[in-house]
Amino acid sequence: MSTLITTLAVIIIMTVLGYLAAKDEYRLKSASVVFLVVLLLSFSTLSTEWGRMTSELVDNDEDPHYGLPHLWDGKQAVCFHFPSDFAPSGLSDGRHHIDYDGTDFKTDDSWNSTGACVGGFEGYDIGIDLLNAAITATGDQFVLNASESSFGLFVNTIAGVDPCDTHTCAEDFSSGAYWELLHNGAYSMLGISDLPLDSDSVITWQIATY
């Protein structure tokens, strides 16, 4: 938001300067050219920030992107859902939406879990690559602790949250909790290392019990 205001302020100030700096008969010409040039130079920032500010959430619950910003339509995203008492610092007031460059631009406080979705990614073919991109984009806020097993990568903690801290896990493994992987809203039968992605895949990590 502040970036948007700064960009608009720069455009306006430069245009006014362009108007005042010219002779009377050239003022309109000068101001219009300065306006266009500054607008073109700042257009990438302006349109990105504006898109983030005005983006609404997808309200079709049959869409894998349900609850995510329209800004990410056709793009890939990774969601991390935490029990409300265990969400990382600053993420306990709803589901945050963090763009591919790490900008936290929208929070859905009516979503039924807390945490964050990191999205706006394109071109990832395998789940682990998208996951790593999301972790890197957020400055390792959602760093994984995982171990290799015969079934593939087993996630122990995400952002330091161990499922057995949030639910009671029996020592004999008769009951417990684990980080569950969803792909486009459905339980994934493949591990994150082998998961083939669509161009608009949504990966979700959430704690499940057994």
Q: Where along the sequence are the contacts to other proteins (CB under 8 A)?
A: 28-29, 32-33, 35-36, 39-40, 43, 46-47, 50-51, 54-56, 70, 73-74, 200
| DSSP structure class, residue 58 | P
Q: Which is nearer to other proteins, 33 or 208 (CB)?
A: 33
What are the φ and ψ backbone dihedral angles of 70, each rounded to 5 degrees? -60, -25
Interhelix angle for 43-54 vs 27-41, to 10°?
Answer: 70
Q: Write phi, then psi, for 185 (nearest 5 degrees).
A: 85, -5
Is there a contact between 151 and 143 (Cβ–Cβ < 8 Å)?
no
Closer Cβ to other proteins, 35 or 111, answer by number: 35
DSSP 150: T
CA of residue 93 relative to chain centroid, distance: 16
Q: How far is the CB of 80 from other proteins (least distance, A)?
A: 24
Closest to other proteins by CB, 53 or 190:
53
3-state SS class at 117:
strand
Nearer to other proteins, 1 or 170 (CB): 1
